[in-house]
Amino acid sequence: MGRSLKVILLIIVSFVMMNCGAKKKVITKKSEQEKPEVILPQIEEDQDQEQEAPPVPIKTNTQRTADYVDNFSDFAQDEMRKYGIPASITLAQGILESGSGNGRLAIEANNHFGIKCHDWTGAKIYHDDDAEQECFRKYNNVKYSYRDHSLFLTSRKRYMDLFRLNKDDYRAWAKGLKKAGYATDRKYPQKLISLIERYKLYKYDAEVLGKDASKANIPVVVNDKHTVKKGDTLYSLSRKYKITVDEIKELNSLENSDLFVGQVLYVKPLPKDY
């Protein structure tokens, strides 16, 4: 009996040792399988960080008005030589209609003059204007937009009276465009004239006509400008010059209330007969 008991105990001990070894093997194998799971969360975090990185800004969206004039004054002068439309008017309309090249129509459709489809058979883009999702012309490049602007004015009877005006009389052209129905904004002429005089766009007319730009027929308005000083705000200027903030922004084509020292602002409304 003693020997049989020893055999039984030996069998039991051997069975227990075999089970322990099997468990150790399983645990080792499981830990090896779990190793990649420690790395995966880190990869996912890195991917998320890349997706949240800020987009690279598009340079054409930050183009300022002065840059716009430098870039497209040649186009405007070429159109003036060929079709007789003052370069100053063309540039001022381009600045106003396209937001100095920053508007959606200018960026996505190269349409700098807000010309709608009408009888257009080319590419199109839809954009909210006087009504929702109106049809506008789309061009392959800006040069075509400038040319189509000239063709648009010269091919329609309602603009014929414009071409009886002097080519350097930008004020008459600005008023004539509004009268002919180019824009619905009742202050459209004032806005064009303000841009032409602020950026001296009349000098491009003078160059084409071979005249002295310094002798251009520009009205003299006393104390109509203010050079921004430290501490100036649109509100303080509106009180000083008895003009509303909105009028200052409109006169100077300001999109927001930001000012900088040395900035020159128009602070007197243009005469009503402009």
Q: Rounded mean pLDDT of 240-265?
A: 85
pLDDT band of 237, cuts 50, 70, 90: very high
Separation of alpha carbons 61 and 100, rounded Å: 9
User: Which alpha helices (H) appear in the chain, and where do they start and end?
Assistant: 2-51, 65-83, 87-98, 104-109, 142-154, 170-180, 188-198, 202-209, 234-240, 245-251
List of domains in the chain = 60-218 (1.10.530.10), 221-274 (3.10.350.10)
pTM of the model: 0.62
pLDDT higher than threshold 90 for residue 205: yes
- Which structure tokens are listed for 99? 């937001």
- Which structure tokens are listed for 51? 């997706």
Separation of alpha carbons 120 and 138, rounded Å: 10
84-139: pLDDT as tens digits: 999 999 999 999 999 999 999 999 999 999 999 988 899 999 988 777 889 999 99
Q: Rounded mean pLDDT of 156-173?
A: 95
Sign of the Cα pseudo-torsion (266, 99, 170, 143, in order): positive
Question: Can you give the pLDDT at residue 4?
Answer: 64
Question: Can you give the pLDDT at residue 27?
Answer: 45
